[in-house]
Structure 1
Amino acid sequence: MAIDYNKLMSRKFERLEHTFTEKDTILYALGVGMGIDPLDEQCLQFVYEDGLKALPSMANVLAYPGFWAKEPDTGIDWVKILHAGQEMIMHKPLPASGTVEATTKINEIVDKGEGRGALILSERTVRDAATGEDLCTLISTTMARGDGGFGGPAVPSPKPDPIPERAPDMTCDLPTLPMSALIYRLSGDYNPLHASPSVATAAGFKAPILHGLCTFGVATHAILKTLCDYDPARFHRIRLRFSSPVYPGETIRTEIWREDDAVAFRCRVVERDVVVINNGYAEVS
Structure 2
Amino acid sequence: MPIDAVKALAAGPRTGEISWTAKDVLLYHLGIGAGTPATDPAELRYTLESRLHVLPSFATVAGAGAPGVTSALSLPGVEVDLAKVLHGGQSLTLHRPLPVEGTATLTDRITAVYDKGRAAVLVMRTEAADTDGPLWTADARIHVRGEGGWGGDRGPSARREAPAGEPDRTVELPVREDQALLYRLSGDWNPLHADPGFAERAGFERPVLHGLCTYGMTLKTVVDTLLGGDVTRVRACAARFAGVVYPGETLRIRMWRGDGETRVAVSAAERDDAPVLADTTVGHS
TM-score, length basis structure 1: 0.91
TM-fit CA distance, 1:216: 0.5
TM-fit CA distance, 1:138: 0.5
CA–CA separation in structure 2 for the residues paired with 1:35 and 1:148: 42
1:184-236 Cα shifts (integer Å, max 9, x gaps): 11100111121122322333333321111001101111111122111111111
1:30 has 2:26 as partner: no
Contact 1:76 1:147 in 2 (8 A): no
TM-fit CA distance, 1:183: 0.8
Find the counterpart in structure 1 of residue 107 from structure 2: 103
Distance 1:245 1:155, change over 3 A: closer
Contact 2:195 2:207 in 1 (8 A): yes
TM-fit CA distance, 1:173: 2.1
1:219 has 2:194 as partner: no
Find the counterpart in structure 2 of residue 82 from structure 1: 86
Find the counterpart in structure 2 of residue 134 from structure 1: 134
What SS class does the counterpart of residue 51 from structure 2 fall into? coil
What SS class does the counterpart of residue 270 from structure 2 fall into? coil
Find the counterpart in structure 1 of residue 127 from structure 2: 125
CA–CA separation in structure 2 for the residues paired with 1:70 and 1:155: 20
TM-fit CA distance, 1:159: 3.5
1:15-45 Cα shifts (integer Å, max 9, x gaps): 1211111111100000000002112211111
Q: Which amino acid letter does the alignment assign opposite residue 237 of structure 1?
A: A
TM-fit CA distance, 1:112: 2.7
Q: Which amino acid letter does the alignment assign opposite residue 205 of structure 2?
A: K
What SS class does the counterpart of residue 118 from structure 1 fall into? strand
Find the counterpart in structure 2 of residue 42 from structure 1: 42
TM-fit CA distance, 1:175: 2.0
Aligned residue runs from structure 1 range 101-250, under 5 A: 101-113=105-117, 116-128=118-130, 130-131=131-132, 133-152=133-152, 154=153, 156-250=155-249
CA–CA separation in structure 2 for the residues paired with 1:164 and 1:70: 34
Contact 1:85 1:241 in 2 (8 A): yes
Percent identity (aligned): 38
Q: Name which of structure 1's ranges 73-82 and 210-219 shifts more when overlaid on structure 2.
A: 73-82
TM-fit CA distance, 1:12: 3.1
What is the CA RMSD across the aligned residues, in angstroms?
1.9
1:159-190 Cα shifts (integer Å, max 9, x gaps): 42322242212112222211111111110011
CA–CA separation in structure 1 for the residues paired with 2:8 and 2:203: 30
CA–CA separation in structure 1 for the residues paired with 2:52 and 2:75: 41
Contact 2:84 2:202 in 1 (8 A): no
Distance 1:75 1:53, change over 3 A: closer
TM-score, length basis structure 2: 0.91
TM-fit CA distance, 1:76: 4.3
Distance 1:242 1:23, change over 3 A: same
What SS class does the counterpart of residue 74 from structure 1 fall into? coil
Distance 1:224 1:204, change over 3 A: same
CA–CA separation in structure 1 for the residues paired with 2:171 and 2:74: 40
Distance 1:2 1:194, change over 3 A: closer
CA–CA separation in structure 1 for the residues paired with 2:75 and 2:10: 15
Q: Which amino acid letter does the alignment assign opposite residue 4 of structure 2?
A: D
CA–CA separation in structure 1 for the residues paired with 2:13 and 2:25: 25
Q: How many residues align?
A: 280
Structure 2 unaligned residues grouped into runs of 5+: none
1:23-71 Cα shifts (integer Å, max 9, x gaps): 1110000000000211221111111011211111100012414514444
What SS class does the counterpart of residue 198 from structure 2 fall into? helix
1:55-111 Cα shifts (integer Å, max 9, x gaps): 111000124145144448424433422111100111111111111221111111122
CA–CA separation in structure 2 for the residues paired with 1:119 and 1:37: 40
